[in-house]
Amino acid sequence: MLYNNPHKKKKGKERNLLKRKNETGFRQGEWLFIREGKFEPGNMGNIKRNEPVSRGGSSKPHICEEVYTVGGEKVYVHSKYAPNGVTEGELSRLRQKIQKQGVRGRVDFQVRTRDASVYARGYVRHPDHKTIILPCWHRVYMNTENNSKASDFSVFLD
């Protein structure tokens, strides 16, 4: 099967698991959104609005109306210099390297969270897929192609 099977604990027909919408959730491209029942975020102030969810690198992000994350690692992302994100310690070394290359001006990095548990609610948009609406909180899962040797450079960025 292409995906980690978060459905094992959920009820649903096996033949329907990879359909775009089924008894347990939704699929949009490489993402699965699995209904979380009575899940409510611990701190509603930490809900991010119109948040991109990306596999990193040059992948086009899916934009989620509302996202709540738990855990993960704080990283700094730049489309050219750190598409998969770098930690704070790696960032200072990378800035020195960029400076030595003679890059003029300020190089800004976006702060993201790598490998967090991600929950989404509301609209999920992507230019290559039909918009879906998550009426309640859904856990977000990425398919497992990132575990293959061909995808050593895929990460889960929020």
pLDDT of the chain, 158 residues: tens digit per residue: 333 444 444 444 445 444 555 556 888 888 889 988 777 887 766 889 999 888 766 678 899 999 998 888 999 998 889 988 999 999 999 999 998 888 887 889 988 888 888 999 999 999 999 999 999 999 999 876 556 665 556 565 65
- N-to-C CA span, the chain: 25
Distance of CA 136 to the CA centre of its chain: 18
The 10 Å Cβ neighbour count of residue 31 is: 24
Q: What are phi and psi of 80, to 5 degrees?
A: -95, -45
pLDDT value for 133: 93
pLDDT value for 11: 47
Cβ proximity of 83 and 77 under 8 Å: yes
Angle at the Cα of 153 from the Cα atoms of 71 and 148, rounded to 5 degrees: 95
Residue 3 corresponds to which tokens in the numbers above? 């995906």
Show me where the domains of the chain are located.
17-72+116-151, 73-114
